[in-house]
């Protein structure tokens, strides 16, 4: 679900801003997009209500990224027993003019799959950002 729609309280808004800042600190040329999904019925059917989705767009195709746009999806699980909500994984996908070029998921083995892959340096930075995202959303409440 679009990050802009998920920012329903101060803590979530602050965590989303932290994710944007983490990404932009490493990649200052990226432009953030808190509404990467269209608001039409077909798209709404595909959107996961248990995720926070943030897009980032670069000014052009990057050889090190092998993509022009990035979609970060932070996946959550709501425990029905203790009513706690925690981030259970992050998926990052890179897109070029043909569509999805590659994908990185923290759910299984943290490897990049797809027709092309970002450079090893970019992949390492993305994995570090994913670790930081999980820490941001799973830190104990004060």
- The DSSP bridge pattern shows strands 85-96 and 67-78 to be antiparallel
Q: Three-state SS for 128?
A: helix
Place of tokens 């994995």: 127
Mean pLDDT of 75-82: 88
Condensed to tens digits (0 to 9), the pLDDT of residues 21-75 reads: 999 999 999 999 988 876 656 655 666 778 899 999 998 777 788 889 999 999 9
What CA–CA distance (Å, rounded) separates 21 from 28?
9
For residue 125, pLDDT over 70 is answered with yes
Domain boundaries, the chain: 3-137
Rg (CA), the chain: 15
């Amino acid at each position: 679900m679009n990050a802009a729609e998920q920012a329903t309280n101060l803590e979530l808004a602050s965590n989303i801003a932290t994710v944007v800042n983490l990404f932009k600190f490493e990649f200052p040329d990226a432009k953030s997009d808190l509404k990467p999904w269209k608001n039409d019925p077909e798209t709404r059917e595909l959107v996961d209500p248990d995720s926070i989705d943030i897009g980032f767009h670069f000014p052009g195709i990057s050889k090190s990224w092998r993509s022009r746009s990035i979609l970060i999806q932070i996946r959550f699980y709501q425990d029905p027993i203790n009513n706690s909500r925690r981030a259970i994984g992050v998926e990052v996908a890179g897109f070029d003019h043909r569509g999805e070029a590659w994908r990185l998921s923290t759910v299984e083995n943290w490897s990049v799959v797809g027709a092309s892959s970002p450079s090893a340096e970019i992949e390492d930075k993305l994995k570090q950002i994913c670790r930081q995202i999980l820490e941001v959303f799973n830190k104990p409440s004060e």
